[in-house]
Structure 1
Amino acid sequence: MKIYYITLNNTDEARKIGRTLLERKLAVCVNWFPITCAYNWQGEITEEAEVVLIVKTQDGYALEIEQVIQENITYTNFMAEISPVAVNQSFLNWLNAEVPVRSLQPTP
């Protein structure tokens, strides 16, 4: 299982991307919520609203998820892959029933 932490500009983007991932069977569940982002930009600290999209899925879907994001936004955002150490079995059963397990190809 993998979890993706993705930052976006607003809830409309998160909703559209999240629903697309679900429709394409690239995720079993998505969550989004507002946050405040502070960062250094051109020598000054800037604060602004952002939205985090959390995507729960199988291993091996990063490229497809990133492609859906790029189909919906034109700016550079953040996407991080998180590997949970432990997940409850009932959730894994649901995940495995909804999102196909990919056989991973060894990297050369």
Structure 2
Amino acid sequence: MRLYYVTLNTAAEAEAISRALLRANLALCTNWFPIHCAYRWEGEIRTEPETVLIIKTQAGYRDRLEAVIRAHIDYTNCIVELEPTGVNPGFLDWLNREISPLGVAQS
């Protein structure tokens, strides 16, 4: 299993990306929520609202996920791939039934 932590500008972007991933059978489930972000940009510290999208899927889908995300946004964002060390068996069974494992050969 893989989780992807993705930062976006708006909840509308998160919803559109989520629906595209689900339609393409690239994700089992997604969640999004508002956060606040502080960062350094061109020598200044800025603070602004942001949306985090969490994507739950199998290993090996990173390139495809990033292609869908890039089709919806044109700015630099954060996409982090996480490998959980423990997941409840019922969720893994659901994931394995719905999304085919591709292995870790893809980056």
CA RMSD of aligned residues (A): 1.4
The CA deviation string for residues 6-27 of structure 1, in whole angstroms up to 9 with x for no partner, is: 0000000000001111111101
- How many residues align? The count is 107
The CA deviation string for residues 42-65 of structure 1, in whole angstroms up to 9 with x for no partner, is: 211100010000000000000000
The CA deviation string for residues 70-101 of structure 1, in whole angstroms up to 9 with x for no partner, is: 00001111000000000000000000011111
Structure 2 unaligned spans of 5+? none
Per the alignment, do residues 93 and 75 of structure 1 end up closer, same or farther by CA in structure 2, a change over 3 Å counting? Answer: same
Could you list the runs of 4 or more consecutive aligned residues of structure 1 that deviate by over 3 angstroms after TM superposition?
Answer: 103-107
Amino acid at match of 2:4: Y
Matches within 5 A, 1:33-48: 33-48=33-48
Alignment check: 8 A CA contact 2:22 2:28 kept = yes
1:105 Cα offset (Å):
3.6
Range 98-107 or range 59-68, more displaced: 98-107
Matched residue of 2:101: which SS?
Answer: coil
Give the TM-score normalised by structure 2: 0.95
Give the TM-score normalised by structure 1: 0.95
